[in-house]
């Protein structure tokens, strides 16, 4: 059947819904742990995605995991594939610019005004948020979040599960590990190991997870 189901129904999901509708698709409902009292898009509640009812309806439509948290998004993704569901769709805003030589994985969101340039590779379940720039030959791991306005110069590598904050800038050729948090506005000039929290200009380590 045609139409989309969103998993998650709060702030990030509202951005996702706008992208789906901007592409002319119909949203048939949402899955959540419980029905939301605030329903700004007037969508039917379809139950928890892992319930018998939720899984049954997810098998009938395309779906998207609209959860902002990287680890929770990955957990839901893995559970659904473990139930032999097809991989979630990728959603791309019509105003985004993506090189024909770039690769964007399943379950990834590409928001308004995003640029993904030549030979970049964006993994599965990634959030490429509003107006971020992913330059040539970047490699973005699975379940990463590139926040609004962040800029990744050419040949940057980002490990799985990393968060790059709003308006952060990563210098060309820098490698960032897995599970890293880059604070908003941070300027990253050198490689970053796994699990580090980095803030400031230039970026300085403040915590190791």
- Placement of tokens 């640029």 in the chain: 115
Beta carbons within 10 angstroms of residue 17's beta carbon: 22
Which region, left, alpha or beta, applies to residue 190 given φ > 0 means left and ψ of -120 to 50 means alpha? beta
Asked if 93 is an active-site residue, the reply is no
Cβ proximity of 61 and 80 under 8 Å: no
Is 82 exposed, middle or buried, given 0-12, 13-18 or 19+ CB atoms closer than 10 A?
exposed
Catalytic residue among 12, 93, 121, 136, which? 136
Q: Which ranges in the chain belong to alpha helices (H)?
A: 11-22, 52-58, 70-82
Whole-angstrom Cα distance, residue 142 to residue 145? Answer: 9
CA distance 5 to 183: 32
Q: Are 95 and 113 in contact (CB under 8 A)?
A: yes
- 38-46 contacts: CB < 8 A, separation 24 or more? 39/9, 40/14, 41/14, 41/17, 43/6, 43/9, 46/5
Positions marked active-site: 136
């Amino acid at each position: 059947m045609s139409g989309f189901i969103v998993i998650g129904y709060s702030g990030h999901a509202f951005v996702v819904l706008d992208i789906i509708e901007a592409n002319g698709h119909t949203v048939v409902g949402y899955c959540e742990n419980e029905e939301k009292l605030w329903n700004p898009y007037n969508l039917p509640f379809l139950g928890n995605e892992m319930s018998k009812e939720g899984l049954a309806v997810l098998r009938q439509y395309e779906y998207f995991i609209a959860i902002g948290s990287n680890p929770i998004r990955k957990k839901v993704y893995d559970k659904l594939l473990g139930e032999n569901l097809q991989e979630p769709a990728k959603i791309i805003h019509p105003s985004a610019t993506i090189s024909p030589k770039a690769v964007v994985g399943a379950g990834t969101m590409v928001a308004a005004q995003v640029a993904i340039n030549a030979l970049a590779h964006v993994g599965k379940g990634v959030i490429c948020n509003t107006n971020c720039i992913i330059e040539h030959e970047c490699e973005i791991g699975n379940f990463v979040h590139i926040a609004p306005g962040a800029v990744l110069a050419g040949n940057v590598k980002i490990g799985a599960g990393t968060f790059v904050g709003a308006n952060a800038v990563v210098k060309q050729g820098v490698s960032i590990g897995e599970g890293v948090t880059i604070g908003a506005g941070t300027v990253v000039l050198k490689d970053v190991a796994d699990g580090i929290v980095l803030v400031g200009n230039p970026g300085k380590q403040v915590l190791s997870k």
